[in-house]
Structure 1
Amino acid sequence: MKPYEHHSSKAPINKRSSSSLYDDDGYRSLFTQHIDAVLSCDLQTKIIESNAAASMLFGYETKELSGMLFEDLLLSSELIDIKKLFKLVSGGTSRQIDVVLACKSGHTVDVNVTFLPKISNDEVVGVYVVAKDQSEQKRLENELMLTKEVYESFFLHSADSMVVLDLQGTVLQINSAFEKNYGWKQEEVVGVNFVMIQPEFQSEFVNLFQIVRYGGSVEGFETIRRHKSGKLFHISLTLSPVRNKYGNVTGIAGITRDITVKKQKEKEIKDREEHYRRLVELCPDGFVVYHDGEILFINTAGAEVLGIEKKENAIGESFISYIHPDSLDDMKKRMKLVEQGETLPFIEQKFISREGRSIYVEMTSVPIEYANMPAVQTVFRNITDRKLVEQALRESQEKYRIIAENTHDLIVILNPEGIVFYASPSHERVLKRQPRDYEGKSIFDFIHPEDREELRSAFDQKLRNGIELRKLHTDGEWVVFEAKGMSVTNEEGFLESYVVVFRDITERKQAEELLKKSDKLSVVGRLAAGVAHEIRNPLTALKGFTQLIASGNGKQQEYVDIMMSELERIEFIVSELLVLSKPQAISFQKKSVKNLLNDVVKLLEAEALLKNIQFVTNCEEDIPFIECEGNQLKQVLINLLNNGIESMEKGGTIVIEGKKQNNEQAVVRIIDQGCGIPEERLKQLGEPFYTTKEKGTGLGLMICYKIIENHKGKLHFYSKKGEGTTAEILLPFADSNR
């Protein structure tokens, strides 16, 4: 259909008279007063007359419109044959089209145009053009279409899940985000009551549904929902009523947003806050939070420092009341700086407790937000004891200088970098070096290279318990010392120096070595009977097979193999005996626990058999190597096995176990069936000269304890009277195996 064929009707011919319609006052009034634009045109499309509404619509004066062709008002893009349209109307047919006309100002206007035949004396003499402005209607239609498109785009492409329900809770529509987040497809849920999709949340859903059904709304309600797969997730739910044009609620629109990540983060924040709260509460330092000087929070340690029996009693009190008058002015200045947003470094101040005691503290303050208000957090540490010690140290410094200058121990004072600025005169007596030879030099220059790292890590840690190290004598020899010390801080609380005391323990170390050698000789002596028996058996075999070979028997090679085997056994026993009896250089090497146990068992097996005792060895195959001095560990194992043998007068079995524990250490257990040890005497084992044997010296176990300690291990005994004894050795694995 062509544009101008939009609507047509045959106009009836007026039979009233042959005069012009304009001669009729009624028609004239209708023309001029019509609310729509009316143009009177001749059959050649020329405008003869127009009404006021036309001038207002097109922006032309009436006289300007007169004489214009109607097609001049058409937008150039409108492809309409106006002359043809007028010709059709001249045949008595009305026409109606939608067209865009151009105004004088250049603006365009959407109009609905009706073309009516103009009749005079029963003939069509022209055309009435009635133009109805449709701009507002078109705008509203466009806005409606745009709104619909925006809604559909928002509904379909929103990242939030959307669902539309009727008033019975039946699903009418869902978007793609709903399908993705809940796992159900549109065809699975449309037409299904929402309660059937999420039955476990029926009660909650019904309550919320009723609120919205009666005109209310739900915004940001946080709850949980279940995915089709069964997985629960957190959502924020918004429900709104859907209304018709009369304002009646006809349905419910729901929007849910997955807030699982948000809830997880909230939980993480809450967990961190709880962790922080517990950390603060358990911290040995005092924590106090205050606003405008009023205490809002204080932890247990802080309350104890300030002498507050119950920390709750401090809430609401003035923090200033706990500041000593000597520090009050400075503290007020610092508090003002923190309230302005500054973080202050640690400084020493004086507090005063509820009982009136002066307390020295080391403290720092930072601005924070607490309970949604700006506040100050102050962390303080009670250093009263340290300050008293420092004061006592300073007061007695002269007194101790006399002692330092006359003691046989070596005393040095070092700066934090290890540079010596005082060495006692005893250095000259012990190491033949003048004190001035040390001053200004690093203490590490005079320490054995192998001991320097241990000394570095020992400052402020192990020095108080003592470590062993070697210092250089002027003759080039290394002298063994035990070092102990402490750190000294200045009035500002900063590290000022280290005081280290070195005691010559060379003679003590020599005595310990003699004890080890003595115990070793004792072990060798106890082995003598077993060794004699062990060697005598192979010698008897050797003698017999030598006689067989001499007789010319044909099995000579077989006899020779047996003889070689027996000779190797004699060689092993003698070698082990020599190793134990000779002094050995201390050398830690990686060793197999299983091999160590097998060597010791071979050595003591003969002695055990003489006393009707059998060894049962259970050793795991995959025990990592340990780093040890093999001969010393064998000495320990022999001592423990001999103790077990001596305790089993009626014979029996000794179980020897080797296992790994927690992938960190090896465990060796020697379990005998002897007479056992009373529980009250177990604690005394290892003490010098304490023994449970009639002829014992009490040195064997003491040396065993010392050897295991030097291997960074532990030695334990478990026993009950009459139930046997278990000796347990724990030894760390070599570093490369950990």
Structure 2
Amino acid sequence: MPETTKRMKSLFVTIVSALLIVSFLQVAFHQQFLNFYNAENAIIVHNILEIFSICVSFAIFTYGWFVFRETHSKMYLMVASIFLAVALLDLMHVITYEKTYHLAVDHSGQMTVWFWITARLTESLGLLWVLLHKEKESQHTNQGWIFFSAFIYVCVISSSIFLFHPYFPAIIQSNSGPTPLKIGIEYFVGLTQLLAIFIAYRKYREAQESFHILLMLACSFLLLSELLLTLYTHVNDIEIIWAHFYKVIGYILFLNAFYFSKLRLTYTMKNKVEKDLKKAKGQLESFFQYTPDAIIILDTKGTILSVNPSFEKIFGWKSKDVLGKLFINLMPDPEIKMDIKQLFEKVALGQSFIGHEAIRQRLNGEKFLISTTISPVCNEKGEITQISAIIRDITKQRESENRARKAEQELKEAVSKQTGIIIKFKKENNRFIHTLCDGKLLANMNLTPDMVVGKDLFEIFDAETAGYISTYYEIAWGGEEVSYELSALGAICFVTLSPIIVDGKVTEVVGSSFDISKLKTTEDLLQKSEKLAVVGELAAGVAHEIRNPLTTLKGFVQLMGANVEPEKKAFVDLMLSELDRIEMITNEFMVVAKPQAVRYQEHDIKDLIRQVLLFSNPQAILNNVSIDVSYLTHETIILCDGNQIKQVFINLIKNAFEAMGDGGAISIEVLQSDDSQLLIRITDTGSGIPEEIIPKLGEPFYTLKEKGTGLGLMVSFRIIEAHKGSIHFSSKVNEGTTVDIKLPYPNRFLNDSPLEELERIGIQ
């Protein structure tokens, strides 16, 4: 809308500026022109201006005559006819003008003014007619008859004026200028010009062409001319000269509007079309000469009119040997001849064939398979005059397809006998569609290839399983090889996915799957056996070899301590301390060796941490360690054995104290992790743990302490795993260590635990 308004303003300013400039020139040079102006000069100037406008009218007619042959536009034909009539009528106006003695017939001026009036009416009404009609093409219009009709029109008007003008109403008065009749006609012509301006303005808003601006300017000057001709009082008044001057300007603008703008565009388009045709012709010739397919042009009887070089290569005949001959005669085999005859008969009736496969013969008699695209060629009248055929030798292609089909069948048979599963899939519309799935394992999972091929994951598995698998499918489609374990449909499978990359783009993914259920069962049994072996050894060693003597030693040391001398009291206390330490190690052995009675209940992690800190704060003060606790989530309720979780916290805080011999700070943060679990993050500023040692943490008897056993972290790991959680260490030497403990919320804990396990641990 703003752009249209801007153009309208520009148009208005252009028209008003042009009129103001001409009006200014008229006023500025009015006195100088009056000094030059007299009756004799008026006739000369009048005739010069009229002759000039007649020449412009004839120019418009001439251009229209020749342009119609190129464009076949009725608009050019109408405009040319109108201005031919206007030029002839204006010419009659000049030769009958007053004081042109050797040509004038009537010296009263009535005759010449009637020629003027008819010329103006023809001009204005004709122009209005042109603007109201849509521009159309006409291929069959006889332009000679149109212009002859215009000539007849002028002859009839001229004869009527010459013969009957004495009987016409008076149109001018000898002394007082134009009569009311002439003024009324001039106003009518002016009104027609004004209507033409509005029509041109409306078309300008639709088309936004400069042609309409020039047309509006032309009509504006013609309107100004008509208005001036209502003001004069004598035939020699200067207003008449100015009116003719404005008419000349209007005609020049009209010529520029219709031809200097329209014709330039027309010829430019014509030149462009010619260049495009030449380019297209060159491309077609190049295609005809260099395409690997044979191209044959025949007449409706099947006579060969033209062939390309590929025809010679495919069939073996030279073009000079086949031109003018029937194509059917090149094929000696009767069956082939019959097929060609039937094909040509159908094409001659207007039918086309695309990819028609048939057997043909070469010059040496060899038969081969071709694919033909054959169609009729019609002339301008729609009559079939020729037949074009494009022939491609597809013998090797078909052999390759047969070999590929055979290889595919063999591959399918091999895949179906595969003990596991072979799959292929590709991504279409953000869905992973399987294109191949077969193998013996598929039958064991109560599936068939038809139940998988052509479907996506969510049509085969439940939403949770499909979402899990699609994560790995997405990674493989991104161009990476990936492996994962899948527990679904009663089997545990190990799946490997490998992308097929062509031109740097993944086109398909191939995968294989093997049942590892027995392997996983065996692995679990081995792990349990190892644990039982360790438990047995530890339980036997601790329970029978250490605990009983330890009780005896501790009792006697306590008895001795009651009667010992004060200076030796410190030695007794040291022995009791070491015995307590041995008892603690023994208890840790018992935790590892014998399953403990576990009772899962809902606990607030805040309460558990507060209880742990009540025991730890005194030792923190002694070790010059500050402990800061922050809660960044409101959901702090978990399902756990409170004593075991507190044991984990105590072990970790104790390790932090020992790592900060010179004091430091411990930070405990409670927040919600990204996977919607409760996260407890314990950070210290101790000496840190070397990176290569972190993976070994939690192994029994592995420790960095001089007097440690490594059982504390092992017990902590087992407790967190039993609670369906995870524990992760990250550390930098001389900077500190961070421990992240993730524990599931009660609802997730219950969903992830089988019913028999819930019954075992006492949760219904």
State TM-score, norm by structure 2. 0.29
State TM-score, norm by structure 1. 0.30
Considering fraction of residues, name the structure with more helix. Answer: 2
Considering fraction of residues, name the structure with more strand. Answer: 1
